[in-house]
Amino acid sequence: MSILYKLISFSLIASSMAILLSSCTAIRGPIPNDPMFAPVYPTQAPVPQSTPGAIYNPATAQFLFEDFKAKRVGDMLMVKLVESTNAKKNADTSLKKDDSVSIPDPTLFGIAGGAAGLLNNRLNQSYEPQRQFDGQSDTKQSNQLTGDITVTVMQVLPNGYLSVRGEKWITLNQGREYIRLTGLVRPQDITADNQLLSNRLGNARIEYSGTGALAAVNQQGWLSRFFSSSWWPL
């Protein structure tokens, strides 16, 4: 029976390790040229035909009072990252409860406490539980992200809003740093020099992280993350 138990335990451990190794190899980090953040190129517009002998030529016309701001699919837009968040939370909880229960001597056969009462052994009972709980927590978190990233317009919505996306990769020594961004832009929030503050983005998704040996060193292993997670009962 002990040999069978050892074989079952060994098979369970081996299968668990195989699952963990396969999951680790299946998970890949972010890589450049992700289709979700790839630029969208505009379609080729038909070239307007020039009119021979006319002063105005639509093929080479330039408008003096037109703002060169992103407004079509494929146009580029510079987003200035000005993200800054600060959160603080305090909690203090105190709980105290006292109970008292007393049971007098019973009367058995007309004698208080029965036979125990004759022997001067009292049967009365007393129960006084006390419970007390004190809890206190203090949480502080702050984040700040500054920089620039140029994105492209991937879609013009019916209300005129622009859906933008883009990514930027920087290789430094043995690692890579990247910024990814998606969101919705109101045309009136774009400045005259074709820039936009990131806090003006709607439904913004901003991701800044790194890959490589330096980023891997700063991460805990899967076993350490398991012991630090809520799955660990202690």
Tens of pLDDT, residue by residue over 12-37, are 565 556 555 554 444 456 888 888 88
**145 in the same domain as 69:** yes
Total domains present in the chain: 2
Which tops the pLDDT comparison, 47 or 158? 158
**183 in the same domain as 76:** yes
**156 in the same domain as 80:** yes
Q: Which domain covers residue 212, as residue numbers? A: 65-85+141-218
Cα–Cα dist 187/159, whole Å: 10
pTM (2 d.p.): 0.58
In a domain, 170, yes or no: yes
**211 in the same domain as 100:** no
In a domain, 38, yes or no: no
- H-run or E-run covering 12: helix 2-26
**214 in the same domain as 115:** no
In a domain, 109, yes or no: yes
- H-run or E-run covering 30: none
Strands 107-108, 76-98: pairing is unpaired
In a domain, 205, yes or no: yes
Tens of pLDDT, residue by residue over 116-160, are 555 555 556 666 777 777 777 788 888 889 999 999 999 999 999
